[in-house]
Amino acid sequence: MKVHKEGYKTIFITLALAIMFSIVALDIFEYTMWAWVAVALFIGFTIFILSFFRVPKRVANGSGTLVSAPADGKIVIVGEVEEPEYFKGKRIQVSVFMSFFNVHVNWFPISGEVVHYKYHPGKYVAAFYPKSSEKNERTTIVIRNENGTEILTRQIAGLVARRVVCYAQKGKMVEAGGPEGFIKFGSRADIFLPLDAKINVKVGDKVVGSETIIAEIK
């Protein structure tokens, strides 16, 4: 299993604490059943943290016109909205909510040039609330495909998440399914699409990052 580099520090600290607490538990409970139960719990928690930072192998099904899911999770918003930051007009918003148990790697949804990038510090309210896209820590990335069509993708930190990591750089070419970044411990990914985009998902659908085609654009 491949582990994401953003998890190295967290995993090391968790492992060190698990070893320390296991030693303490064995000493306090004198190697009784309760001592081994405590050790098993510490090991289980370490494995859980390790699995959270796993990097699964994925097929890149997106392209310049096929928009793939930027993250694993559940579709929580599909609809026409006003996008005030970059487009300053109406767009179709599709949002993927990542629960605490999802992989939190993010993938670029289309191939093209990064024409806009901005990091926004902010609050940490629950990511499934619509207003979190305006209030929470987040990044805004705009990608233009070879036909000149632009989409906006946004990483949004959640209630527990305290760090958004983004690898996008303005002026760089990116590929659909390439590594966009990482968000720790529960978050959301938004995509803002042209009004003539063909949407292939609905609220409640579960999507797989880099593989599920959520929309088609020109």
Residue 98 has a CB neighbour count (10 Å cut-off) of: 27
Phi-psi category of residue 185: left, alpha or beta, with phi > 0 → left and psi -120 to 50 → alpha: left
Residue with tokens 């579709």: 75
Residue 124 has a CB neighbour count (10 Å cut-off) of: 18
> Shortest CA distance to 168 belongs to which of 126, 130, 119?
119
> Shortest CA distance to 186 belongs to which of 209, 161, 216?
161
Residues known to be catalytic? 187
